[in-house]
Chains A and B, each alone.
Chain A
Amino acid sequence: MSRSLRFAYYPGCSGQGTSIEYDRSTRGICRALGIELVDIPDWSCCGSTPAHTVDHVLSAALSARNILQAESLKDVRGIITPCPSCLTNLKTAARRMRDADFKARVDSLLDAPCRNDLPVMSVLQVIYQELGPEAVKARVTSPLTGLKVAPYYGCIMNRPPEIMDFDDCENPIAMDRLMLAAGAEVMPFPLKVECCGASFGVARNEVVTRLSGKLLDAAACCGASAMVTACPLCQMNLDLRQGQINRANGSRHDLPIFYYTQLIGMALGLNGSDLMLDKLCVDPKTLLRHMRAAQSAAAS
């Protein structure tokens, strides 16, 4: 691929707060892998999950504003975001605006009509498709040998397939292949695209403890010692609420929940401030210490 990997970057709101470690590690590995991220100037919230339940035009306009801002950037190949929820909103808005009537209604809410010609992708898709697992593998300096991970994509990274248009919607493999490239052992995790309970954590906590509990059970059952996620909400439910889940279900899970960007960052040899592993609620230190100990034992 001769064209430069320069993209308009949409961090999303959670990247500023609850998932700051996702945003930081994403920027870290992109720098290390040669993907140039240009922050979209003056970006605003995409409306997240509530906006589209109220008004499709308004919801699209929130994303279209960010698309419009991105269009002011020079020489970018597309818009990328780490967050699947932001991705869904951006892609849905872009697709709906292919309809001229709909686009006219959206444009009337914007300062200027947007061109709507930049492709929208997740960071995962760019790393997987534009670079590829082989290129990542070539840059790995400290492989994750011995780490058994269950890759968990969440329910909206690949679905609905006609909008997201990336990987297999029932059995995605992008993160699996990247984890293999990073040297980890990938367990056959069957609930890759199941729902974690999403934003029911406050409103109906028992939904999250039941659904996320099932995910943790399945990950432990298939022999994983950690889960890898690509969605801030999934990560939060599994990590922050793991204690709640254990209490509700009478389970005793102690599974670190990594962002895939953190694990790739580790394999690429990035330092702690780039990866912010200390932000994880379930402390991965013991697990990682065991992994490194086993590696050095095997090496000697």
Chain B
Amino acid sequence: MRIGVFVCHCGSNIAGTVDVERVALEARAFPDVAFASDTMYACSEPGQAAIIEAIREHRLDGVVVASCTPRMHEPTFRKTVERAGLNRYMFEMANIREHVSWIGKDTEANTRKAADLVRMAVAKLANDRTLTPKKFSINKRVLVIGGGVAGIQAALDCADGGLEVVLVEKTATIGGKMAKLDKTFPTVDCSSCILGPKMVDVAQHPNITLYASSEVADIGGYVGNFNVSVRKKATYVDWDACTGCGQCTEKCPSKKATDRFNEEIGTTTAINIPFPQAIPKKASIDPEFCIKLTKGKCGVCEKVCPTRAIRYDQQDEVVEEAVGAIIVATGYDLFDWTRYGEYGGGRYPDVITSLQYERLLSASGPTGGHVKRPSDGKEPETVVFVQCVGSRDKSVGRPYCSGFCCMYTAKQAILTKDHMPESQSYVFYMDIRAPGKMYDEFTRRAMEEYGTRYIRGRVAMIYPKGDKYVVRGADTLMGGQVEIEADLVVLAVGAEASEGAARLAEKLRISYDSYGFYMESHIKLRPVETNTAGVYLAGSCQGPKDIPASVAQGGAAASKVQNLFSKDQLESDPQISNVAIKRCIGCGKCIQTCPFGAIETVDFRGMTKASVIETVCQGCGICTSTCPQGAIQLQHFTDNQILAEVNALCQQSPFRNYE
């Protein structure tokens, strides 16, 4: 066998702490190596051209590139060797950047280790076999999880592109956080006026199936062929019959139900429609507060409903959907601000969250757009905004910046002046982070045109004094303490991963960071993909985002799905497990350990044997280490190939003595 070795400098990334020329020199002496050289950037066009030229000139059977992580460039180099006429699996990578040059500064030790890794890769390549991917057909439907603005954009873009879309929303209406906003920054245009039409488009689009009040219960399958179970939660109303006329909500005698849409400012009826522009505009019953469901009496809504849609005995229902791709747009939750004991820990009625304030500002909110203090209904004269509540604060485990709070606080300060020209607003801030288009101009306007007083420093304490609240904080520009007596305090709460994000990630088999936000496949170059093929991300489930960024990512995720569906067939990865049928004793241990359910039993001439479902297998290799017979082998990572690497590592190097 004739093997070529290419050792990459990666500029100074590798060459800075590894003697790459010496690694290439040593590699020439490794068994089967017919050619070895070092190259400045192996992944660049001239770098790839040099590999192709060497394959042709030296009649190479396989290539080893010693450079960065396979995650980054294995596909690149596989394509390169393929262009030169080799099978793409006759290629091995030695990671001498992440595993060597980036973790140690000792050039001598690094060089030895790099040479060892190259020798292992050469030994494995000598045992590699050509593999050929199989093709399988795909289902060109897409599932969108989450009906906020990112999910809506993704669903509409897919649907307009001719794909069938299944949109699953956990709450009774789509719209997400944006539907609760009064106005949006930096244009101060009406949030529901720009989102409303899009929500209607979702309802009317012939390609979109909307499941509201529903959750994804289970996901099976693989890219191109996912099977999804959607649990439609009981709403106690037959939504096919309900016309959203609202007669039931007018007559419902139970008026103490939690008003989730209005952020629990005020209450609502036990049977309710979240808000007038809700999509779908259907009533649902809150079982916790319904007198009929809790006490067995009442039944008023059933009597007044003109379409006889009320179903007190309704149960959850599970529907199955088959899709080829999934867009996750599950958004975020607000930080639980009651964890701030120094701000009253939720005990003071007039210390509210920014989203609650947004509902007070909104004409469709519980006060009809009049700002009233929750405690006594008075119009506040002094409003204090406290930024970074649950953002950039290690003490509550939220060291990251939530990104949009500076902007919505400026917007709310402007709106406060619009609603109450005599009022005075103060904003306690740590830094103003306003990097978007027209953002900095907008915060300046809040200060300069609307007279909002910005005080740089954290608020240490809020406490009641008479019917006012003393807000005490540092003014780090003036170098002293300030105390402001406020009528209303608005806490600019930060964002955290939505409740249940981790559970959904496990169903989807995608990764999430230590705060619960979903991880993109590559932080810079694959920002909407995940490491699971066919699953894409949109909006704040990946990290806190404002509306333009969420819409952009929703569109980007949709275009990735279009891209995936532009082919009629996908290639399956041949790096999967394979059962040697003669060796298999049918013990079933592999079936028990396979996390993907990719192994089944088959009858082979009257004997039970294991068999791998090729499209489900993810190539993790757990079965191969479980099999007592060595009968199940992971292609491209067989026992022989791995043992060859170990042997190569243990061999005495002719160039040096190990102590």
Contacts and interface: CB of A to CB of B under 8 A. Distances in A.
A221 B341 contact: no
Interface in A158-198: 168-171, 188, 190-191, 194
A83 B341 CA distance: 24
The residue in B344, B347, B463, B464 that gathers the most chain A C-beta atoms within 10 A of its C-beta is B463
Interface in B423-465: 461, 463-465
B341 A190 contact: no
B345 A191 contact: no
Interface string A181-220: 0000000101100100000000000000000000001100
A170 B345 CA distance: 9
A190 B345 contact: no
B160 interface: no
A156 to B, nearest CB: 16
B347 A188 contact: yes
Contacts of B464: 188, 190, 222
A171 B465 contact: no
B250 interface: no
Contact of A191 (B340, B341, B463, B466): B463
Contacts of B341: 168-171
B393 interface: no
A297 B4 CA distance: 103
A40 to B, nearest CB: 34
Nearest to B461: A194
Contacts of A218: 463, 465
Contacts of B342: 170
B474 to A, nearest CB: 15
A170 B342 CA distance: 6
Contact of B465 (A169, A194, A221): A221
Contacts of A190: 344, 463-464
A169 B341 CA distance: 8
Interface in B398-430: none
A194 B342 CA distance: 10
Contacts, number: 22
B463 A171 contact: no
Contacts of B340: 170
Interface string B323-366: 00000000000000000111011010000000000000000000
Interface string A217-235: 1100110000000000000
Nearest to A170: B341
Interface size class of A (residues with CB under 8 A): 10 to 19
B466 A221 contact: yes
Interface string A133-175: 0000000000000000000000000000000000011110000
* Interface size of B as a range: 10 to 19
Contacts of A169: 341
A188 B342 CA distance: 14
A125 to B, nearest CB: 18
Contacts of A170: 340-342, 345
A190 B343 CA distance: 10
Nearest to A161: B395
Nearest to B465: A221
A194 B472 CA distance: 12
A145 B47 CA distance: 88
Contacts of B461: 194
A247 to B, nearest CB: 22
A166 to B, nearest CB: 14
Contacts of A194: 461
B464 to A, nearest CB: 6
A171 B464 CA distance: 14
B339 to A, nearest CB: 10
A191 B469 CA distance: 12
A117 to B, nearest CB: 30
Nearest to B462: A190
A171 B347 CA distance: 10
Nearest to A171: B341
A138 B342 CA distance: 33
Give the most central of A171, A188, A190, A222: most B CB within 10 Å: A190
A171 B462 CA distance: 12
A178 B464 CA distance: 24
A194 B465 CA distance: 15
A171 B344 CA distance: 8
A170 B338 CA distance: 12
A190 B237 CA distance: 46
Contacts of A217: 465
A191 B342 CA distance: 10
Contacts of B345: 170-171
A221 B467 CA distance: 10
A100 to B, nearest CB: 28
Nearest to B466: A221
Contacts of A221: 465-466
A188 B461 CA distance: 15
Contacts of A168: 341
A190 B340 CA distance: 14
Nearest to B340: A170
A20 B342 CA distance: 33
B645 to A, nearest CB: 43
Interface in B562-585: none
A150 to B, nearest CB: 12
A277 to B, nearest CB: 30
Nearest to A190: B463
A217 B340 CA distance: 24
A170 B347 CA distance: 12
A275 to B, nearest CB: 31
A170 B464 CA distance: 15
B429 to A, nearest CB: 22
Contacts of A171: 341, 345, 347
B358 to A, nearest CB: 27
A194 to B, nearest CB: 8
Contacts of A222: 464
Nearest to A189: B463
A190 B463 CA distance: 6
A25 B469 CA distance: 37
Contacts of A188: 347, 464
A272 B345 CA distance: 39
Nearest to A194: B461
A218 B344 CA distance: 15
Nearest to B464: A190
A188 B466 CA distance: 12
A217 B341 CA distance: 21
> Shortest 8 CB-CB distances between A and B: which pairs?
A170-B341, A190-B463, A171-B341, A170-B342, A190-B464, A171-B345, A168-B341, A221-B465
22 contacts: A168-B341, A169-B341, A170-B340, A170-B341, A170-B342, A170-B345, A171-B341, A171-B345, A171-B347, A188-B347, A188-B464, A190-B344, A190-B463, A190-B464, A191-B463, A194-B461, A217-B465, A218-B463, A218-B465, A221-B465, A221-B466, A222-B464
Given A168-B341, A171-B345, A191-B463, 17 more contacts: A169-B341, A170-B341, A170-B342, A170-B345, A171-B341, A171-B347, A188-B347, A190-B344, A190-B463, A190-B464, A194-B461, A217-B465, A218-B463, A218-B465, A221-B465, A221-B466, A222-B464
Interface of B: 340-342, 344-345, 347, 461, 463-466
